[in-house]
Each structure stands twice: as C-alpha cells, then as structure tokens.
Amino acid sequence: MIGKLERALIVILLLQNQYEAIGFVLAAKSIARFRQLDDKEFAEKYLVGTLASVLLALGATLLLKDFVV
C-alpha cells in the first residue's frame, strides 16, 4: 500500500515538473526507516526497492505523457 502511494506521488510530482519535491519524498521515507538501515541486508533491499520504485514511477510517467500529449 505504501509503495503504491509513493509511486503515485512521484508520478504526480513528475507530471507537475516538481523534481525537487521527489527528493523530499525519498528523504521522508529514509527518515521513517532510519534505525532499520543499520542492518546491512535490510539497507541493501531498501535501496534496491527504492530505486526500482522510482524507475517504475518514471516509466509510468513517460507512458502517461505519451498518451496524454
């Protein structure tokens, strides 16, 4: 659920050309998980998951722009 919300928010921000705000979304996510990042295995999965989520949102945004414009 949270991942879907995160991707939707990133798509909306990308469509609005609010690239800086995406950094705040990712920073807030990192702050929420800060203590868990001490675990190396969790940190690796967290980083890979975050990057995959951002790439998925970017791909969705590019598709939306092609269909809308």
How far is the CA of 49 from the CAs of 3, 43, 52, in angstroms?
Answer: 9, 10, 5
Q: What is the pLDDT of residues 18-55, one digit of tens each?
A: 999 999 999 998 898 889 989 999 999 999 999 999 99
What's the pLDDT score for residue 67?
85
Indicate whether 69 pLDDT > 70: no
Domain count, the chain: 1
Reported pTM: 0.84
53, 4 in Cβ contact below 8 A?
no
Residue 54, domain extent: 2-68
Indicate whether 16 pLDDT > 90: yes
pLDDT, averaged across the chain: 92
